[in-house]
A and B are shown apart, each in its own frame.
Chain A
Amino acid sequence: MLHGHHGELTVGEMLRRHGISRRSFIKFCTAAASAMALPPSVGLAMAEQLRQAPRPSVVYLSFQECTGCLESLTRSFAPTIENLIFNIISLDYDDTLMAAAGEAAESARTKAMQDNFGKYVLIVDGSVPTGAGGAYCTAGGRSAVDTLREAAKGAAAIVCVGTCSSFGGIPFADPNPTGAWPVTAIVGDKPIINVSGCPPIPEVITGTLLQLVATGKVPDLDEHRRPKVFFGNTIHDRCYRRPFYDQGKFAKSFDDEGARNGWCLYELGCKGPTTYNACATLKWNGGTSFPIESGHGCLGCSEPGFWDKGSFYAAQSAAAWGKAGEVSPRQVLEVTATAAAAGAVIGAASAGVSRLRQHRSEQHGIGRESKGDE
């Protein structure tokens, strides 16, 4: 499905030109395959596929975002960002990474899109604000929504990097003042891959792109269009603290004995059981650790609407109603006491009606009896 950059070399030719041996390339592919939890044999197959694969042109658009996703991408270890953008893909436009600015940068984008129409990969970072005619996010005098629609027309596939472009993210959270939407709400006729996370794990971004280039096809996706290879399991399923959950050992506060012993953070609001991501296996910063390993529960940042799902510190099974998503015992007491008081009034009234009926029927009966006596 993917085609090479206009007048460009294949990945194999590019690597040869840079003096990268077959051996070190296979090593690199095996490392990338293991990052995706694939067997080493896949690394070899991937190397062969990649060698013959065309280097696709990539256009990276940043909309309503914080650049955290790009910051994350630049910290990728397997493959590294420089290996990715110099050898595997041809990054033709990224307004944050490119040296050019202003009209020079915009004309580079336009040229890449014209030369590779129907073949390039479009990466979108950030949600797309539609409020006030799209005025909340503009670049080069054009709104994000217009730029996205134009760029999507000639894209072979769209990769949404981060929860904002995938699901709307923080800008989409209630009350969504800018009328922000995810890419899927704007573009309906293109293959879209969501690489969610706030930010996504760097190796998940590069691994997804690598898989896309190696196979030329959209990988297997889950119901939220996320690659199953990275988003197939919950954090909870792969969490090293899972045995403590199974044993019923829970930390009750962030500085108690349980927390010091590394017990499960479920009761402190960990969203691991409902969050699909690879944090517990790939981890962060080159496999150093991940939030739960650092003593904090998962926020569920790779799930749709994570910002509006109640407190980060309330257990998943906790009651949650009201604006803030939490409910205090005092509120529960007020609600239940009011309901109980109303119930008592209805009960007393129904007993009163019953007594009245009994009384009437007795009087009626007595009247009939006395008539009969006469």
Chain B
Amino acid sequence: MDLLSLARGPALKVALVVFCLGVTWRIVGFTLLRVHRDLNKPRASIAKFLAGGLITVGSRSWPHQEFIGRTGAGEALGYSYHLGLFAVVLLFGPHIAFLGSLFGVTWPGLPSSLITVISVLTLTLFLAVLFRRVTNPVMRMLSNFDDYFSWFITMLVIVTGLAATAHIGAPYQTLLALHILSVDVLLLWFPFGKLMHAFYIFPSRAINGAILARKGATS
């Protein structure tokens, strides 16, 4: 079995199984944890309680007016590379073919050359994000292996993908195999590292917002 057959065959299957198992394990495990009952009298109606949750999902997704000068650049950086990643993952022809082979659904994509430009921009932003993490004393103190490895594996997927498209460094078959293998590693790591924020981020904001709304506070 050659490297490409391994990458898109058994390795991909194992990675998908671990990904699905890990993600549901963590979500279900987290959801069923015991929550201390709030014995205080609710300060808001059920409608306000639910609305508080939804509003917080939106309000926490935008820099707070008061701190925009300090956090705006970081948030812009974060949004930009996330949008870049979405475009590259979901709108590149071969990726659509890959996802189509898994789920049986395809959709129109963007020109490959445009995807290459977006990938290079995303890669640059990724380097900027790492630079910020390393140079900012507070962020550096807060960072651990999980942060750096999650960054590294995502970066590796972009780099190998670009190399495969541009045929740099090795034959296309080898580069494509390395690209798919790096995706396999990402899927294996996803449920157990901070990449899980993809699933946690909005529910956690909603829960925080709802709890605060019940106490009569806005967030």
Check B28–A320 contact: CB distance below 8 A. no
Cβ B5 vs Cβ A314 within 8 A: no
The answer to the question of B144 belonging to the interface, with a C-beta cut-off of 8 Å to chain A, is no
Known A320-B5, A332-B16, A355-B34; contact A344-B101, beta-carbon cutoff 8 A = no
A-B CB contact pairs (8 Å), 8 listed: A273-B176, A315-B94, A319-B12, A321-B12, A329-B102, A335-B17, A341-B24, A358-B34
Are the C-beta atoms of B176 and A342 separated by less than 8 Å? no
C-alpha gap A249/B12 in the complex (Å): 27
Decide yes or no whether B95 CB sits under 8 A from chain A: yes
Within 8 A of B (CB), among A47-93: none
Q: Chain B: which residue is nearest A272 at the CB level?
A: B172
Whether B9 pairs with A317 at a CB distance below 8 angstroms is no
Among the 9-residue stretches B75-83, B110-118, B201-209, the one with 4 or more Cβ atoms under 8 Å from chain A is: B110-118
- Which of A237, A246, A248, A341 meets B167, CB within 8 Å? A237
Looking at the complex, which of A14-22, A184-192, A281-289, A345-353 is the stretch in contact with chain B? A345-353
Task: In the A-B complex, list the 7 residue pairs whose CB atoms are closest, starting with the nearest.
Answer: A347-B28, A343-B24, A329-B104, A351-B32, A318-B101, A347-B29, A315-B97
Number of interface residues of B (CB under 8 A): 53
* B167-201 contact mask (Cβ, 8 Å, vs A): 1 or 0: 10001110010001000000000000000000000
A336 at the interface (CB under 8 A from B): yes
Chain A binding surface, main DSSP class: helix
The reply on B49 being an interface residue by CB < 8 A is no
Rounded to whole Å, the gap between the CB of A326 and the closest CB of chain B is: 8
Q: Is the CB of B103 within 8 A of A332?
A: yes
Do A246 and B111 touch (CB < 8 A)? yes
Query: Which chain B residues border A351 with CB–CB below 8 Å?
Result: 28-33
Question: What residues of A have a CB within 8 angstroms of the CB of B95 in the complex?
Answer: 317
For chain B residues 89-147, which have a beta carbon within 8 Å of chain A?
92-98, 100-104, 106, 109-115
Q: Is the CB of A315 within 8 A of B98?
A: yes
Interface membership of chain A positions 162-197, coded 1 if the CB is closer than 8 angstroms to chain B and 0 otherwise? 000000000000000000000000000000000000
Complex: chain A residue closest to B167, CB-CB = A237
Residues of B within 8 A of A266 (CB): 93-94, 97
Q: How far is the CA of A276 from the CA of B23 in the complex (A)?
A: 41
